[in-house]
Amino acid sequence: MPKYLLLKHYRGGPEPHRPVPPIDQWAPEDVEAHMAFQHHVSELLESNGEYVDAQALAPARTWVRYGGPEAAPVATEGPHPETSDLIAGWWIIDVESHERALELAAYASSAPGPGGEPLYEWIDVREIMWERPQTAEPA
């Protein structure tokens, strides 16, 4: 079965469908509802037998590169342009089809935001490369 990475972003991606303030500025009941939904998604994936992994990333970012022979690595901790992508975390799912991956991503995007209304958050869906089982040698 194909595996997909469903990426959530702190920023970046298409124009937000519904711009919202940061979660720490939401009403307590909206915060609770949102967090409960996140748990629910992971539980749903597990009970469906579609769950592989889920991780959250801290927002702090360091870019680093080889500094050259005999030189220390070169690192930059920002400030980075506000427009650059910043990944917040992911689910890895193992599903029947591409359609199923899109369906789950859309469901994850329906997480409640301020006022209990869906967030309509963009989810980046990426297929993980894998060896497809083949019944015959390719011609």
Site residues (CB under 8 A) for another protein?
22-28, 30-32, 35-36, 39, 56, 58-60
**Residue among 76 and 97 whose Cβ is closer to another protein:** 76
**Residue among 36 and 74 whose Cβ is closer to another protein:** 36
**Residue among 90 and 101 whose Cβ is closer to another protein:** 90
Give the residue ranges of DSSP H helices in the chain: 28-48, 98-109
* Least distance (Å) between residue 59 CB and another protein: 6
List b or e across 104-134, with b for residues whose CB sees 16 or more CB atoms inside 10 angstroms: bbeebbebbbbeeeebebbbbbeeeeeeeee
* Least distance (Å) between residue 119 CB and another protein: 15
Residue 50: Cβ within 10 Å count: 20
